[in-house]
Amino acid sequence: MPWFEEHALGFLSQQEFEQVKQSLEETVRPAVVAAQANSLELYLALLAESESPNLNPLLKATEDNSVDWQSFFQEDVTLPSAYAITLVADADSTATEPNRAIMNAIASSIKQADLPASINVKVTGQAALDFDEIADANNSIAVAGTASLLG
């Protein structure tokens, strides 16, 4: 999903974040400093100071006349196979069935998102639990009422 790709840093583990941060500091800092000074010599000097300089951006720039910095740092990140989105629902106390209204709103939002078939959405939490319990209780009452009419 594009939103997760655009905000990927928020889903990194602390260790992955530190790896990306270190990689950024080692790779981008020389380019930024040299760009501000408008000096290729400064860039090369800063690379020479590094114990293990990353020459890939320089090589890429000589091939394409540009550097896609993001592609260099995606190598250090393992994309998650699942995401959790937490929503906090405020029940409408004027509704006759507030939990049903919440569940209907969630279902509507999921439907409007037009998600690919490969994405599986699970709704959990207190509102879902309360909705299921009330639905089960209503079904039990209906069964008991039907049984008493027949008996």
In a domain, 80, yes or no: no
Output the pLDDT for position 141. 82
Query: What pLDDT band is residue 16 in, cutting at 50, 70 and 90?
Result: confident
CA 41 to chain CA centroid, Å, is: 40
Q: For residues 75-82, give the mean pLDDT.
A: 66
Say if CB 80 and CB 64 are below 8 A apart: no
Amino acid at 53: P
* Structural domain includes residue 84: no
Residue 81 in any domain: the answer is no
pLDDT tens profile 107-145: 898 888 888 887 888 887 777 778 778 777 777 887 777
What number is the average pLDDT over the span 13-38? 82
Inside any domain, residue 41: yes
Contact predicate 3/85, CB 8 Å: no
Total domains present in the chain: 2
Say if 30 falls within a structural domain.
Answer: yes
Range of the domain at 131: 98-149
Domain shared by 114 and 64, yes or no: no
- 83, part of any domain: no
Is 85 inside a domain boundary?
no
Task: Decide if 15 contacts 6 (C-beta within 8 A).
Answer: no
Q: pLDDT-based confidence at 68, cuts 50/70/90?
A: confident
Mean pLDDT (the chain) is 78
Residue 122, Ramachandran bin (φ over 0: left; ψ between -120 and 50: alpha; else beta):
beta
Instruction: Clarify whether residues 70 and 105 are in a common domain.
Output: no
Please say which residue of 18, 44, 75 terminates a domain. 75
Mark whether 68 and 102 lie in a shared domain: no
